[in-house]
Amino acid sequence: MENKKLGWAIVGLGKFATEQLIPAFKDCKYSELVALVSGSPEKAAQVAAEYGLNTPNIYNYQNYDTLKDNPAVDVIYIVLPNSLHAEFTVRGTQAGKHIMCEKPMATNVADCQKMIEACQQAGKQLMIGYRAQYETYNLKCIELIREGKIGDLKLITSDHGRPLKPDKPEDKWRADKKLAGGGSLMDIGIYSLQACRYLTGEEPVEVSAMMHNTPGDPRFKEVEENITFSLRFPGGVLANCSSSYSFFETKRFQAFGSAGNITLDPATDYNEHYLTLKTEEGTEEIKLKGNNHFAAEIDHFSECILENKTPKTPGKEGLRDVKLMMAIYEAAEKGQPVKV
């Protein structure tokens, strides 16, 4: 495995792909960017030139299926608007490639199931890009909880928010329900949901929720602005979460235990993390070296493919979150708790 690098194709050259994922390949040991798929030939040519890719390895959404004839590509990474994830996963795996797909996995449960089945039928792996699960500070929080550093875990709170700006290309489709599937919950509330699941290591059994859109705000004609949701875990832990498309930048969680608290704020930023542990002995800031977690998640998938192992965040992890988000919407709409 020492010198083996798998070839990756990135689908959708938007803000996240060009600013975070593509630059991360320089820090990868087992993964190399070899192809691009884009609706914009000019942008693709520019990115290819910047990263020294062969121009024949530029594809568009129509000739995407011909990736099957390109043996240099082992893995396709789908970084498209949410409702397109399913189609491009199914087509990609039918072209004989392994698939990494961005969060949220899809906009409904049936699409998630279709994606999992298509990958199984093709004998290919599927991973969801839950980068926080490959990030050093988030992993440290899990370790502190498992080691009992805060005693028995009792409660988690987590909040994610940012103002939606549909005049920017990356936010235009986020205000469009057909492309986004939902609003702040599907986009960033999913980080709060994920945090509660990986910090407890359990699956929630009940959810309740409330939603609010500012009347008359044109950004929220189709998708929700603010949502709060509560989760009950089988071991007795409760969680209170929120997501917002109108808060000031917020990406935090806090875990409360019988003997201490952990705060990670920011928790899910691209670069910055601030971790404190509060116990009887006082409040300690925990400083870690930090890692390029985009490279870590990309390499994790390549390693799993090379060693024929299931990734840490496979398709069923994405399906679980989509099922839970649907239950959260149902609870908010009914004004009643929903068992899951």
Residues with a known catalytic role: 103, 191
8 A C-beta contact, residue 15 and residue 81: no
Residue 257 or 311: the one with the smaller Cβ distance to ligand NDP is 311
Q: What contacts 199, CB < 8 A, 6 or more positions away?
A: 141, 142, 145, 153, 156, 253, 255
> Which part of the chain contacts ligand NDP (CB under 6 A), choosing from 6-14, 51-59, 150-158, 313-321?
6-14
CA 93 to chain centre: 20
Residue 30 or 64: the one with the smaller Cβ distance to ligand NDP is 64
| DSSP tag of 285 | E
Contact between 292 and ligand NDP (CB under 6 A)? Answer: no
* Interface pattern 233-272 for ligand NDP (x via CB under 6 A): ----------------------------------------
Residue with tokens 């705060």: 263
Q: In the set 79, 193, 255, 331, which binds ligand NDP (CB under 6 A)?
A: 79
> Which part of the chain contacts ligand NDP (CB under 6 A), choosing from 14-22, 25-33, 229-237, 285-293?
14-22
Number of residues written out for the chain: 340
Cis peptide before 266 (omega within 30 of 0): yes
Show contacts with ligand NDP in window 87-146 (CB under 6 A): 102-103, 129, 131
For the chain, the first-to-last Cα distance in angstroms comes to 42
The dihedral built from the CA positions of residue 178, 183, 185 and 188, taken in this order, carries a sign that is positive
- Total number of residues that touch ligand NDP (CB under 6 A): 24
Residue with tokens 């994790």: 300
Q: In the set 29, 43, 68, 149, which binds ligand NDP (CB under 6 A)?
A: 43
How many CA atoms within 13 Å lie on the side-chain side of 48?
19
Closest contact distance (angstroms) between CB of 296 and ligand NDP is: 13
The dihedral built from the CA positions of residue 134, 268, 12 and 82, taken in this order, carries a sign that is positive
Contact between 15 and ligand NDP (CB under 6 A)? Answer: yes
> Which part of the chain contacts ligand NDP (CB under 6 A), choosing from 48-56, 76-84, 113-121, 228-236?
76-84
The first and second tokens of residue 166, run together, are 């549909």
Q: In the set 1, 26, 39, 54, which binds ligand NDP (CB under 6 A)?
A: 39
3-state SS assignment for residue 50: helix
> Which part of the chain contacts ligand NDP (CB under 6 A), choosing from 80-88, 215-223, 271-279, 312-320?
80-88
Burial class, 268, CB count within 10 angstroms (exposed 0-12 / middle 13-18 / buried 19+): buried
Q: In the set 70, 82, 158, 313, which binds ligand NDP (CB under 6 A)?
A: 82
Give me the residues that bind ligand NDP (CB under 6 A), please: 12-17, 38-40, 43, 79-82, 84, 102-103, 129, 131, 169-170, 173, 179, 187
